[in-house]
Structure 1
Amino acid sequence: MTLPKMIVLDLDGTLLDSNKNVSGRTVKLLTELKEKGVQLVFATARPPRVTVFKGIDLTTLGTLIFYNGALFDCALTKKQIHFGIPHRTAQKVIDYCNELDPEANLSVEIKDHWFSFKPLDYREFMHVDHNPVVIEQEHVSSQDCTKILLTDFPFANQLVTTYQNELNVIVTDQGRLTQIMAKEASKEQAIAHLLKTHQLDFDDVLCFGDDYNDLGLFQACGYAVAMGNAVDELKEIADEVTSSNDEEGVANVLEKLKNRE
Protein backbone atom coordinates (compact mmCIF):
# COMPACT_ATOMS: atom_id res chain seq x y z
CA MET A 1 0.00 0.00 0.00
CA THR A 2 1.47 3.32 -1.11
CA LEU A 3 0.59 6.73 0.27
CA PRO A 4 -3.02 7.40 -0.80
CA LYS A 5 -4.21 10.74 -2.11
CA MET A 6 -7.30 10.62 0.08
CA ILE A 7 -8.13 8.88 3.36
CA VAL A 8 -11.77 8.47 4.41
CA LEU A 9 -12.49 7.69 8.04
CA ASP A 10 -15.71 6.72 9.75
CA LEU A 11 -16.05 8.14 13.26
CA ASP A 12 -17.99 5.94 15.72
CA GLY A 13 -16.39 2.54 16.12
CA THR A 14 -13.48 3.58 13.91
CA LEU A 15 -11.64 6.84 14.59
CA LEU A 16 -13.35 7.26 17.97
CA ASP A 17 -12.77 4.81 20.80
CA SER A 18 -15.60 3.58 23.00
CA ASN A 19 -15.32 6.73 25.14
CA LYS A 20 -15.66 8.89 22.01
CA ASN A 21 -12.04 10.07 22.15
CA VAL A 22 -9.22 10.14 19.60
CA SER A 23 -5.70 9.31 20.79
CA GLY A 24 -2.94 11.90 20.55
CA ARG A 25 -0.94 9.45 18.45
CA THR A 26 -3.75 9.24 15.90
CA VAL A 27 -4.14 13.03 15.75
CA LYS A 28 -0.39 13.44 15.20
CA LEU A 29 -0.35 10.92 12.35
CA LEU A 30 -3.38 12.50 10.65
CA THR A 31 -1.80 15.95 10.93
CA GLU A 32 1.44 14.69 9.38
CA LEU A 33 -0.44 13.08 6.50
CA LYS A 34 -2.39 16.27 5.86
CA GLU A 35 0.89 18.19 5.74
CA LYS A 36 2.10 15.74 3.10
CA GLY A 37 -0.88 16.64 0.91
CA VAL A 38 -3.21 13.74 1.72
CA GLN A 39 -6.88 14.77 1.61
CA LEU A 40 -8.63 13.73 4.84
CA VAL A 41 -12.36 13.09 4.89
CA PHE A 42 -14.44 12.18 7.94
CA ALA A 43 -17.62 10.39 6.83
CA THR A 44 -20.12 9.81 9.60
CA ALA A 45 -23.76 9.05 10.29
CA ARG A 46 -23.68 11.89 12.81
CA PRO A 47 -25.19 15.35 12.27
CA PRO A 48 -22.89 18.39 12.32
CA ARG A 49 -23.79 19.45 15.87
CA VAL A 50 -22.22 16.35 17.44
CA THR A 51 -18.88 16.18 15.63
CA VAL A 52 -16.83 18.18 18.14
CA PHE A 53 -14.40 16.08 20.17
CA LYS A 54 -11.70 16.76 22.72
CA GLY A 55 -8.17 16.94 21.35
CA ILE A 56 -9.02 17.04 17.64
CA ASP A 57 -10.53 19.64 15.32
CA LEU A 58 -11.97 17.72 12.40
CA THR A 59 -12.88 20.88 10.50
CA THR A 60 -9.25 22.01 10.25
CA LEU A 61 -7.95 18.56 9.39
CA GLY A 62 -10.28 17.79 6.53
CA THR A 63 -13.75 17.62 5.02
CA LEU A 64 -16.75 16.30 6.93
CA ILE A 65 -19.58 14.26 5.45
CA PHE A 66 -22.65 14.03 7.66
CA TYR A 67 -25.69 11.74 7.84
CA ASN A 68 -23.98 8.98 5.81
CA GLY A 69 -23.59 11.34 2.85
CA ALA A 70 -26.90 13.19 3.00
CA LEU A 71 -25.26 16.51 3.92
CA PHE A 72 -21.83 17.96 3.13
CA ASP A 73 -20.13 21.02 1.70
CA CYS A 74 -18.93 21.02 -1.89
CA ALA A 75 -15.16 21.48 -1.87
CA LEU A 76 -15.30 23.51 -5.09
CA THR A 77 -18.33 25.78 -4.67
CA LYS A 78 -18.35 25.79 -0.83
CA LYS A 79 -22.11 25.37 -1.08
CA GLN A 80 -23.99 22.89 1.08
CA ILE A 81 -25.22 19.77 -0.70
CA HIS A 82 -28.31 18.13 0.78
CA PHE A 83 -29.84 14.85 -0.34
CA GLY A 84 -33.13 14.86 1.55
CA ILE A 85 -36.03 12.44 1.51
CA PRO A 86 -38.83 14.18 -0.46
CA HIS A 87 -41.41 15.37 2.05
CA ARG A 88 -44.28 13.29 0.68
CA THR A 89 -42.15 10.15 0.77
CA ALA A 90 -40.93 10.98 4.27
CA GLN A 91 -44.49 11.33 5.58
CA LYS A 92 -45.45 8.06 3.92
CA VAL A 93 -42.54 6.28 5.64
CA ILE A 94 -43.32 7.83 9.02
CA ASP A 95 -46.97 6.79 8.75
CA TYR A 96 -45.96 3.27 7.72
CA CYS A 97 -43.59 2.94 10.69
CA ASN A 98 -46.34 4.05 13.06
CA GLU A 99 -48.73 1.54 11.51
CA LEU A 100 -46.23 -1.26 12.06
CA ASP A 101 -45.52 -0.13 15.62
CA PRO A 102 -47.67 2.65 17.16
CA GLU A 103 -45.08 2.91 19.96
CA ALA A 104 -42.14 3.30 17.56
CA ASN A 105 -39.20 5.34 18.85
CA LEU A 106 -38.95 7.53 15.77
CA SER A 107 -37.15 10.81 15.24
CA VAL A 108 -36.41 13.01 12.24
CA GLU A 109 -33.32 15.00 11.29
CA ILE A 110 -33.67 18.04 9.03
CA LYS A 111 -30.36 19.77 8.27
CA ASP A 112 -28.90 19.52 11.77
CA HIS A 113 -32.22 19.96 13.58
CA TRP A 114 -33.60 16.96 15.46
CA PHE A 115 -37.30 16.36 16.07
CA SER A 116 -39.55 13.65 17.48
CA PHE A 117 -43.28 13.30 17.93
CA LYS A 118 -43.07 12.14 21.54
CA PRO A 119 -40.48 12.55 24.31
CA LEU A 120 -37.40 10.37 23.72
CA ASP A 121 -34.29 10.04 25.85
CA TYR A 122 -31.32 9.22 23.64
CA ARG A 123 -28.54 10.73 25.76
CA GLU A 124 -26.98 7.43 26.79
CA PHE A 125 -27.60 5.41 23.63
CA MET A 126 -26.37 8.10 21.22
CA HIS A 127 -23.81 9.68 23.56
CA VAL A 128 -25.37 13.14 23.24
CA ASP A 129 -26.19 15.82 25.80
CA HIS A 130 -29.58 16.67 24.33
CA ASN A 131 -32.73 15.00 23.04
CA PRO A 132 -34.89 15.69 19.99
CA VAL A 133 -37.33 18.59 20.18
CA VAL A 134 -40.88 17.29 20.52
CA ILE A 135 -43.25 18.66 17.85
CA GLU A 136 -46.40 17.66 16.00
CA GLN A 137 -45.79 15.64 12.84
CA GLU A 138 -47.60 18.23 10.73
CA HIS A 139 -44.83 20.73 11.47
CA VAL A 140 -42.40 18.78 9.27
CA SER A 141 -44.91 17.53 6.71
CA SER A 142 -43.75 19.99 4.04
CA GLN A 143 -40.00 19.60 4.61
CA ASP A 144 -37.55 17.19 3.03
CA CYS A 145 -36.07 15.04 5.80
CA THR A 146 -32.33 14.49 5.97
CA LYS A 147 -32.78 11.28 7.92
CA ILE A 148 -35.46 9.26 9.70
CA LEU A 149 -34.21 7.33 12.74
CA LEU A 150 -35.75 4.43 14.63
CA THR A 151 -34.31 2.73 17.68
CA ASP A 152 -34.99 -0.87 18.68
CA PHE A 153 -37.56 -1.11 15.89
CA PRO A 154 -38.84 -4.71 15.61
CA PHE A 155 -39.78 -4.36 11.94
CA ALA A 156 -36.47 -3.05 10.61
CA ASN A 157 -36.06 -5.87 8.10
CA GLN A 158 -39.55 -5.23 6.78
CA LEU A 159 -38.61 -1.59 6.23
CA VAL A 160 -35.53 -2.61 4.28
CA THR A 161 -37.58 -4.94 2.07
CA THR A 162 -40.35 -2.41 1.49
CA TYR A 163 -38.18 0.60 0.64
CA GLN A 164 -34.90 -0.86 -0.62
CA ASN A 165 -35.55 0.33 -4.19
CA GLU A 166 -36.76 3.77 -3.16
CA LEU A 167 -34.62 4.76 -0.18
CA ASN A 168 -31.33 3.98 1.52
CA VAL A 169 -32.28 1.97 4.62
CA ILE A 170 -29.45 0.78 6.87
CA VAL A 171 -29.58 -1.11 10.17
CA THR A 172 -26.52 -0.45 12.35
CA ASP A 173 -25.33 -0.46 15.97
CA GLN A 174 -25.88 -4.19 16.56
CA GLY A 175 -29.35 -3.95 15.02
CA ARG A 176 -30.54 -1.25 17.40
CA LEU A 177 -30.53 1.73 15.02
CA THR A 178 -32.44 1.94 11.74
CA GLN A 179 -31.37 4.83 9.51
CA ILE A 180 -33.49 5.91 6.54
CA MET A 181 -32.15 8.36 3.97
CA ALA A 182 -32.66 9.39 0.38
CA LYS A 183 -31.45 6.89 -2.20
CA GLU A 184 -28.78 9.36 -3.29
CA ALA A 185 -27.43 9.64 0.24
CA SER A 186 -24.47 7.35 0.87
CA LYS A 187 -20.89 7.78 1.91
CA GLU A 188 -19.62 6.50 -1.43
CA GLN A 189 -21.74 8.92 -3.47
CA ALA A 190 -20.55 11.86 -1.36
CA ILE A 191 -16.95 10.72 -1.81
CA ALA A 192 -17.52 10.40 -5.57
CA HIS A 193 -18.53 14.07 -5.61
CA LEU A 194 -15.40 15.09 -3.68
CA LEU A 195 -13.16 12.98 -5.90
CA LYS A 196 -14.55 14.68 -8.98
CA THR A 197 -13.75 18.13 -7.59
CA HIS A 198 -10.20 17.03 -6.73
CA GLN A 199 -9.78 15.16 -10.04
CA LEU A 200 -9.07 11.89 -8.25
CA ASP A 201 -10.36 8.32 -8.58
CA PHE A 202 -11.60 5.80 -6.03
CA ASP A 203 -8.36 3.87 -6.61
CA ASP A 204 -6.60 6.79 -4.90
CA VAL A 205 -8.61 6.32 -1.69
CA LEU A 206 -7.86 4.46 1.55
CA CYS A 207 -10.91 4.05 3.78
CA PHE A 208 -11.57 2.85 7.34
CA GLY A 209 -14.89 1.60 8.73
CA ASP A 210 -16.69 -0.77 11.05
CA ASP A 211 -20.41 -1.00 10.25
CA TYR A 212 -22.94 -1.69 7.51
CA ASN A 213 -23.08 1.94 6.39
CA ASP A 214 -19.46 1.53 5.23
CA LEU A 215 -20.13 -1.40 2.89
CA GLY A 216 -20.60 0.68 -0.27
CA LEU A 217 -17.48 2.68 0.49
CA PHE A 218 -15.45 -0.50 0.98
CA GLN A 219 -16.63 -1.84 -2.37
CA ALA A 220 -15.65 1.38 -4.14
CA CYS A 221 -12.32 2.41 -2.62
CA GLY A 222 -8.89 1.29 -3.74
CA TYR A 223 -7.90 0.01 -0.30
CA ALA A 224 -10.32 -0.71 2.55
CA VAL A 225 -9.40 -1.34 6.19
CA ALA A 226 -11.92 -2.89 8.57
CA MET A 227 -11.59 -2.36 12.29
CA GLY A 228 -11.12 -5.36 14.55
CA ASN A 229 -14.56 -4.59 15.97
CA ALA A 230 -16.19 -4.36 12.53
CA VAL A 231 -19.16 -6.44 11.42
CA ASP A 232 -18.17 -9.67 9.67
CA GLU A 233 -19.63 -8.56 6.33
CA LEU A 234 -17.17 -5.66 6.26
CA LYS A 235 -14.19 -7.77 7.27
CA GLU A 236 -14.96 -10.22 4.48
CA ILE A 237 -14.51 -7.60 1.75
CA ALA A 238 -11.73 -5.58 3.40
CA ASP A 239 -8.19 -5.52 2.05
CA GLU A 240 -6.93 -5.47 5.63
CA VAL A 241 -8.31 -5.93 9.15
CA THR A 242 -6.62 -3.84 11.81
CA SER A 243 -7.00 -3.84 15.58
CA SER A 244 -10.12 -2.45 17.23
CA ASN A 245 -11.06 1.18 17.77
CA ASP A 246 -10.05 0.78 21.43
CA GLU A 247 -6.60 -0.46 20.37
CA GLU A 248 -5.71 2.45 18.06
CA GLY A 249 -6.56 0.44 14.96
CA VAL A 250 -6.48 3.50 12.70
CA ALA A 251 -3.14 4.73 14.06
CA ASN A 252 -1.58 1.28 13.66
CA VAL A 253 -2.31 1.32 9.92
CA LEU A 254 -1.28 4.95 9.47
CA GLU A 255 2.01 4.25 11.27
CA LYS A 256 2.81 1.41 8.88
CA LEU A 257 1.86 3.64 5.97
CA LYS A 258 4.17 6.38 7.18
CA ASN A 259 7.08 3.97 7.70
CA ARG A 260 6.78 2.67 4.12
CA GLU A 261 7.41 6.07 2.56
Structure 2
Amino acid sequence: MKLFVTDLDGTLLASDHTLSPYSLASLNSAMENGLPVCIATGRSYSDILEIIKDFKIRPYIISSNGASIYDNNGKKIYSISIPKDQVKDIIQYLQGQNLEYEVADDDYTYITKESLAILHKELEDVGALDSAKKKELEQDILGLVLSQGNLKVVEDMETLLNSIDSGNSVSSISAYLNKIHKAMEYFTMDKRIRTFSSWKYNFEMTSSKTSKGIALTHLCEILQIDLQDVAAIGDNYNDLSMIKVAGIKGAMGNGVEHIKAMADYLAPTNDEDGAVKFLQHLTEKE
Protein backbone atom coordinates (compact mmCIF):
# COMPACT_ATOMS: atom_id res chain seq x y z
CA MET A 1 0.00 0.00 0.00
CA LYS A 2 1.42 3.34 -1.09
CA LEU A 3 -1.63 5.58 -0.59
CA PHE A 4 -4.61 5.35 1.79
CA VAL A 5 -7.82 7.08 0.69
CA THR A 6 -10.87 7.60 2.88
CA ASP A 7 -14.25 9.24 2.54
CA LEU A 8 -15.47 11.46 5.42
CA ASP A 9 -19.20 11.34 6.24
CA GLY A 10 -20.35 7.81 6.97
CA THR A 11 -16.74 6.60 6.84
CA LEU A 12 -14.01 8.44 8.74
CA LEU A 13 -16.47 10.64 10.64
CA ALA A 14 -18.85 9.25 13.24
CA SER A 15 -22.62 9.63 12.96
CA ASP A 16 -22.43 13.02 14.68
CA HIS A 17 -20.07 14.15 11.86
CA THR A 18 -17.01 14.41 14.12
CA LEU A 19 -13.58 12.80 13.96
CA SER A 20 -12.80 10.61 16.96
CA PRO A 21 -9.50 11.05 18.85
CA TYR A 22 -8.70 7.41 18.03
CA SER A 23 -9.09 7.91 14.28
CA LEU A 24 -7.13 11.16 14.42
CA ALA A 25 -4.25 9.51 16.28
CA SER A 26 -4.23 6.55 13.87
CA LEU A 27 -4.02 8.73 10.78
CA ASN A 28 -1.37 10.97 12.33
CA SER A 29 0.69 7.88 13.16
CA ALA A 30 0.36 6.49 9.62
CA MET A 31 1.46 9.74 8.01
CA GLU A 32 4.33 10.22 10.45
CA ASN A 33 5.51 6.74 9.42
CA GLY A 34 5.58 7.80 5.77
CA LEU A 35 2.23 6.62 4.40
CA PRO A 36 0.47 9.29 2.30
CA VAL A 37 -3.21 9.78 3.14
CA CYS A 38 -5.90 11.30 0.94
CA ILE A 39 -9.30 12.57 2.08
CA ALA A 40 -11.87 12.13 -0.72
CA THR A 41 -15.24 13.64 0.11
CA GLY A 42 -18.26 15.52 -1.13
CA ARG A 43 -17.46 18.34 1.27
CA SER A 44 -15.83 21.50 -0.02
CA TYR A 45 -12.18 22.29 0.55
CA SER A 46 -12.38 24.91 3.30
CA ASP A 47 -14.84 22.75 5.26
CA ILE A 48 -12.37 19.85 5.11
CA LEU A 49 -9.58 22.08 6.44
CA GLU A 50 -11.59 22.67 9.61
CA ILE A 51 -12.12 18.93 10.08
CA ILE A 52 -8.42 18.11 9.66
CA LYS A 53 -7.05 21.07 11.62
CA ASP A 54 -5.50 18.77 14.22
CA PHE A 55 -3.63 16.61 11.70
CA LYS A 56 0.12 16.89 12.25
CA ILE A 57 0.78 16.35 8.54
CA ARG A 58 -1.57 17.67 5.85
CA PRO A 59 -3.15 14.91 3.72
CA TYR A 60 -3.93 15.11 0.02
CA ILE A 61 -7.51 16.25 -0.53
CA ILE A 62 -10.10 15.41 -3.16
CA SER A 63 -13.01 17.74 -2.47
CA SER A 64 -16.55 18.18 -3.81
CA ASN A 65 -16.68 14.60 -5.10
CA GLY A 66 -13.69 15.05 -7.38
CA ALA A 67 -14.11 18.67 -8.50
CA SER A 68 -10.81 19.76 -6.90
CA ILE A 69 -7.55 18.12 -5.82
CA TYR A 70 -5.11 19.71 -3.38
CA ASP A 71 -1.64 18.39 -2.68
CA ASN A 72 -0.18 17.96 0.80
CA ASN A 73 1.12 21.53 0.75
CA GLY A 74 -2.34 22.97 0.16
CA LYS A 75 -1.77 23.73 -3.53
CA LYS A 76 -4.67 23.14 -5.93
CA ILE A 77 -3.50 20.79 -8.68
CA TYR A 78 -6.79 19.95 -10.43
CA SER A 79 -10.20 21.58 -10.83
CA ILE A 80 -13.34 20.92 -12.88
CA SER A 81 -16.53 22.82 -12.04
CA ILE A 82 -20.06 23.44 -13.31
CA PRO A 83 -20.43 26.76 -15.22
CA LYS A 84 -22.53 29.43 -13.51
CA ASP A 85 -25.28 29.45 -16.16
CA GLN A 86 -25.72 25.71 -15.69
CA VAL A 87 -25.77 26.10 -11.90
CA LYS A 88 -28.59 28.62 -12.37
CA ASP A 89 -30.59 26.16 -14.49
CA ILE A 90 -30.14 23.43 -11.86
CA ILE A 91 -31.24 25.49 -8.89
CA GLN A 92 -34.20 26.99 -10.76
CA TYR A 93 -35.48 23.45 -11.31
CA LEU A 94 -34.90 22.55 -7.64
CA GLN A 95 -36.75 25.69 -6.57
CA GLY A 96 -39.66 24.70 -8.80
CA GLN A 97 -39.78 21.31 -7.05
CA ASN A 98 -39.71 22.98 -3.60
CA LEU A 99 -36.38 21.29 -2.83
CA GLU A 100 -33.56 22.55 -0.67
CA TYR A 101 -30.27 23.16 -2.50
CA GLU A 102 -26.65 23.96 -1.72
CA VAL A 103 -23.91 25.14 -4.07
CA ALA A 104 -20.26 24.61 -3.13
CA ASP A 105 -17.05 26.15 -4.37
CA ASP A 106 -13.64 25.78 -2.72
CA ASP A 107 -14.34 28.49 -0.17
CA TYR A 108 -17.97 28.12 0.88
CA THR A 109 -21.04 25.95 0.75
CA TYR A 110 -23.89 28.35 0.01
CA ILE A 111 -27.47 27.83 1.09
CA THR A 112 -30.37 30.28 0.85
CA LYS A 113 -32.70 31.23 3.69
CA GLU A 114 -35.54 29.79 1.64
CA SER A 115 -33.75 26.43 1.39
CA LEU A 116 -33.24 26.24 5.14
CA ALA A 117 -36.91 27.09 5.64
CA ILE A 118 -37.88 24.22 3.32
CA LEU A 119 -35.88 21.76 5.43
CA HIS A 120 -37.37 23.00 8.68
CA LYS A 121 -40.89 22.81 7.22
CA GLU A 122 -40.33 19.23 6.01
CA LEU A 123 -39.09 18.18 9.43
CA GLU A 124 -42.08 19.82 11.14
CA ASP A 125 -44.45 18.03 8.77
CA VAL A 126 -42.73 14.68 9.36
CA GLY A 127 -42.71 15.28 13.11
CA ALA A 128 -46.43 15.90 13.18
CA LEU A 129 -46.91 12.27 12.16
CA ASP A 130 -43.84 10.57 13.64
CA SER A 131 -41.80 12.29 16.37
CA ALA A 132 -39.17 9.53 16.46
CA LYS A 133 -38.51 9.88 12.73
CA LYS A 134 -38.29 13.65 13.10
CA LYS A 135 -35.55 13.26 15.71
CA GLU A 136 -33.65 10.86 13.47
CA LEU A 137 -33.94 13.19 10.48
CA GLU A 138 -32.85 16.21 12.49
CA GLN A 139 -29.50 14.46 13.03
CA ASP A 140 -29.27 13.02 9.53
CA ILE A 141 -30.44 16.08 7.59
CA LEU A 142 -30.03 19.28 9.61
CA GLY A 143 -27.06 17.75 11.43
CA LEU A 144 -25.16 17.22 8.19
CA VAL A 145 -26.05 20.60 6.71
CA LEU A 146 -25.17 22.57 9.84
CA SER A 147 -21.98 20.56 10.49
CA GLN A 148 -20.37 22.19 7.46
CA GLY A 149 -17.91 24.63 8.93
CA ASN A 150 -17.89 26.81 5.82
CA LEU A 151 -21.68 27.01 5.42
CA LYS A 152 -22.75 30.47 4.25
CA VAL A 153 -26.43 31.39 4.46
CA VAL A 154 -27.42 33.96 1.83
CA GLU A 155 -30.63 35.84 1.20
CA ASP A 156 -31.75 34.33 -2.11
CA MET A 157 -30.73 32.63 -5.36
CA GLU A 158 -29.61 35.91 -6.94
CA THR A 159 -27.24 36.61 -4.04
CA LEU A 160 -25.89 33.06 -4.27
CA LEU A 161 -25.21 33.32 -8.00
CA ASN A 162 -23.52 36.69 -7.53
CA SER A 163 -21.21 35.05 -4.97
CA ILE A 164 -19.77 32.36 -7.23
CA ASP A 165 -17.83 32.11 -10.48
CA SER A 166 -18.87 28.47 -10.96
CA GLY A 167 -19.97 25.56 -8.79
CA ASN A 168 -17.87 22.59 -7.77
CA SER A 169 -21.07 20.80 -6.83
CA VAL A 170 -24.79 21.31 -6.35
CA SER A 171 -26.64 19.13 -3.84
CA SER A 172 -30.14 18.72 -2.49
CA ILE A 173 -31.50 17.18 0.71
CA SER A 174 -35.07 16.24 1.55
CA ALA A 175 -36.95 14.28 4.18
CA TYR A 176 -39.10 12.94 1.33
CA LEU A 177 -37.41 10.23 -0.72
CA ASN A 178 -39.92 10.52 -3.58
CA LYS A 179 -38.85 14.14 -4.16
CA ILE A 180 -35.19 13.11 -4.22
CA HIS A 181 -35.78 10.24 -6.64
CA LYS A 182 -37.87 12.35 -9.03
CA ALA A 183 -35.23 15.07 -9.21
CA MET A 184 -32.42 12.55 -9.65
CA GLU A 185 -34.26 10.99 -12.59
CA TYR A 186 -34.64 14.42 -14.17
CA PHE A 187 -30.96 15.34 -13.89
CA THR A 188 -29.73 11.92 -14.96
CA MET A 189 -30.88 12.90 -18.46
CA ASP A 190 -28.44 15.83 -18.54
CA LYS A 191 -25.16 14.49 -19.92
CA ARG A 192 -23.24 17.59 -18.83
CA ILE A 193 -23.47 16.60 -15.18
CA ARG A 194 -22.85 13.53 -13.04
CA THR A 195 -25.68 12.74 -10.61
CA PHE A 196 -25.35 10.42 -7.61
CA SER A 197 -26.33 9.98 -3.99
CA SER A 198 -24.04 9.98 -0.96
CA TRP A 199 -26.82 8.84 1.36
CA LYS A 200 -30.51 8.12 1.02
CA TYR A 201 -31.82 11.61 1.80
CA ASN A 202 -29.75 13.49 -0.75
CA PHE A 203 -28.37 13.66 -4.25
CA GLU A 204 -25.42 15.57 -5.63
CA MET A 205 -24.20 16.84 -8.97
CA THR A 206 -20.76 17.57 -10.34
CA SER A 207 -19.42 18.06 -13.85
CA SER A 208 -19.74 14.85 -15.87
CA LYS A 209 -16.00 15.16 -16.51
CA THR A 210 -15.06 14.29 -12.95
CA SER A 211 -15.74 11.93 -10.03
CA LYS A 212 -13.80 10.69 -7.02
CA GLY A 213 -12.42 7.91 -9.21
CA ILE A 214 -11.30 10.24 -12.00
CA ALA A 215 -9.68 12.58 -9.49
CA LEU A 216 -7.94 9.72 -7.67
CA THR A 217 -6.58 8.39 -10.96
CA HIS A 218 -5.25 11.85 -11.79
CA LEU A 219 -3.65 12.20 -8.35
CA CYS A 220 -1.93 8.84 -8.70
CA GLU A 221 -0.53 9.85 -12.09
CA ILE A 222 0.97 12.96 -10.50
CA LEU A 223 2.39 10.98 -7.57
CA GLN A 224 3.51 8.14 -9.85
CA ILE A 225 1.66 5.59 -7.71
CA ASP A 226 0.10 2.53 -9.33
CA LEU A 227 -3.61 2.32 -8.57
CA GLN A 228 -3.07 -1.30 -7.53
CA ASP A 229 -1.08 0.08 -4.58
CA VAL A 230 -3.95 2.32 -3.43
CA ALA A 231 -6.36 1.37 -0.62
CA ALA A 232 -9.71 3.19 -0.64
CA ILE A 233 -12.69 2.95 1.69
CA GLY A 234 -16.17 4.46 1.63
CA ASP A 235 -19.78 3.84 2.47
CA ASN A 236 -22.05 5.15 -0.30
CA TYR A 237 -22.69 5.53 -4.00
CA ASN A 238 -20.47 8.58 -4.49
CA ASP A 239 -17.55 6.36 -3.37
CA LEU A 240 -18.11 3.71 -6.03
CA SER A 241 -15.86 5.27 -8.66
CA MET A 242 -12.81 5.53 -6.38
CA ILE A 243 -13.27 2.06 -4.89
CA LYS A 244 -13.56 0.62 -8.40
CA VAL A 245 -10.17 2.02 -9.47
CA ALA A 246 -8.33 1.28 -6.21
CA GLY A 247 -6.42 -1.97 -6.05
CA ILE A 248 -7.34 -2.55 -2.38
CA LYS A 249 -11.05 -2.05 -1.73
CA GLY A 250 -12.66 -1.41 1.66
CA ALA A 251 -16.30 -0.94 2.64
CA MET A 252 -17.80 0.36 5.84
CA GLY A 253 -20.04 -1.88 7.93
CA ASN A 254 -22.69 0.83 7.69
CA GLY A 255 -22.25 1.11 3.92
CA VAL A 256 -24.73 0.36 1.14
CA GLU A 257 -24.81 -3.19 -0.18
CA HIS A 258 -23.35 -2.23 -3.57
CA ILE A 259 -20.18 -0.97 -1.89
CA LYS A 260 -19.96 -4.01 0.38
CA ALA A 261 -20.25 -6.36 -2.61
CA MET A 262 -17.16 -4.76 -4.21
CA ALA A 263 -14.97 -4.84 -1.12
CA ASP A 264 -11.99 -6.99 -0.28
CA TYR A 265 -12.45 -6.03 3.38
CA LEU A 266 -15.57 -5.17 5.34
CA ALA A 267 -14.70 -2.73 8.12
CA PRO A 268 -16.66 -1.99 11.29
CA THR A 269 -19.06 0.95 11.23
CA ASN A 270 -18.16 4.63 11.26
CA ASP A 271 -19.11 4.76 14.96
CA GLU A 272 -16.52 2.03 15.59
CA ASP A 273 -13.61 3.77 13.81
CA GLY A 274 -14.01 1.37 10.90
CA ALA A 275 -11.95 3.36 8.39
CA VAL A 276 -8.78 3.38 10.49
CA LYS A 277 -9.31 -0.24 11.49
CA PHE A 278 -9.17 -1.03 7.77
CA LEU A 279 -5.91 0.91 7.61
CA GLN A 280 -4.53 -0.96 10.62
CA HIS A 281 -5.54 -4.29 9.08
CA LEU A 282 -3.54 -3.43 5.97
CA THR A 283 -0.44 -2.19 7.79
CA GLU A 284 -0.38 -5.29 9.99
CA LYS A 285 -0.26 -7.44 6.86
CA GLU A 286 2.77 -5.63 5.48
TM-score class normalised by the smaller sequence: 0.7 to 0.9
Is 1:145 aligned to 2:155, yes or no? no
- CA distance in structure 2 between the partners assigned to 1:127 and 1:133 by the alignment: 14
Q: Structure 1 residues 114, 196: CA separation in 2 closer, same or farther (over 3 Å shift)?
A: same
Mapping of residues 80-99 of structure 1, within 5 Å: 81-99=78-96
Is 1:167 aligned to 2:186, yes or no? no
Query: Which residue number corresponds to residue 112 of structure 1?
Result: 107
Mapping of residues 1-261 of structure 1, within 5 Å: 4-51=1-48, 52-53=50-51, 57-58=54-55, 60-74=57-71, 78-79=75-76, 81-99=78-96, 101=97, 103-121=98-116, 123-128=142-147, 130=151, 132-137=153-158, 140=161, 143-152=165-174, 153-154=179-180, 155-163=182-190, 165-174=191-200, 176-261=201-286
**Which structure 1 segments of 5+ residues have no match?**
none
- CA distance in structure 2 between the partners assigned to 1:106 and 1:88 by the alignment: 16
Preserved CA contact (<8 Å) 2:112 2:157: yes
How far does residue 91 in structure 1 lie from its aligned partner after superposition?
2.3
SS for the counterpart of 1:8 is strand
- CA distance in structure 1 between the partners assigned to 2:194 and 2:68 by the alignment: 14
- CA distance in structure 2 between the partners assigned to 1:34 and 1:73 by the alignment: 16
User: In the TM superposition, what whole-angstrom CA distance separates every residue of 1:4-56 from its partner, at most 9, and x where no partner exists?
Assistant: 000001011111111233333333332232233221001111112322248x6
**Larger helix share, 1 or 2:** 2
- CA distance in structure 2 between the partners assigned to 1:26 and 1:107 by the alignment: 29
Amino acid at match of 2:244: Q
Query: Which residue number corresponds to residue 126 of structure 2?
Result: none
How far does residue 117 in structure 1 lie from its aligned partner after superposition?
4.5
Preserved CA contact (<8 Å) 1:171 1:177: yes
Amino acid at match of 2:143: E
Deviates more, 1:226-235 or 1:133-142: 133-142
SS for the counterpart of 1:21 is coil
Q: Structure 1 residues 111, 135: CA separation in 2 closer, same or farther (over 3 Å shift)?
A: farther
How far does residue 222 in structure 1 lie from its aligned partner after superposition?
0.1
Amino acid at match of 1:25: Y
User: In the TM superposition, what whole-angstrom CA distance separates every residue of 1:63-105 from its partner, at most 9, and x where no partner exists?
Assistant: 1221111122256993453211122322222233334x1x221
Q: Structure 1 residues 213, 97: CA separation in 2 closer, same or farther (over 3 Å shift)?
A: same
- CA distance in structure 2 between the partners assigned to 1:53 and 1:113 by the alignment: 14
Q: Structure 1 residues 79, 19: CA separation in 2 closer, same or farther (over 3 Å shift)?
A: closer
Across the two proteins, how many residue pairs are aligned to each other?
Answer: 253
Deviates more, 1:86-95 or 1:183-192: 86-95
Preserved CA contact (<8 Å) 2:46 2:107: yes
TM-score (norm 2): 0.78
- CA distance in structure 1 between the partners assigned to 2:172 and 2:4 by the alignment: 30
| Aligned sequence identity (%) | 26
Preserved CA contact (<8 Å) 2:112 2:160: no
User: In the TM superposition, what whole-angstrom CA distance separates every residue of 1:148-193 from its partner, at most 9, and x where no partner exists?
Assistant: 1211244233234322x3211112222x111111112311121122
- CA distance in structure 1 between the partners assigned to 2:108 and 2:29 by the alignment: 34
**Which structure 2 segments of 5+ residues have no match?**
117-140
- CA distance in structure 2 between the partners assigned to 1:257 and 1:5 by the alignment: 11
SS for the counterpart of 2:197 is strand
How far does residue 211 in structure 1 lie from its aligned partner after superposition?
0.7
SS for the counterpart of 1:45 is coil
Q: Structure 1 residues 25, 59: CA separation in 2 closer, same or farther (over 3 Å shift)?
A: closer
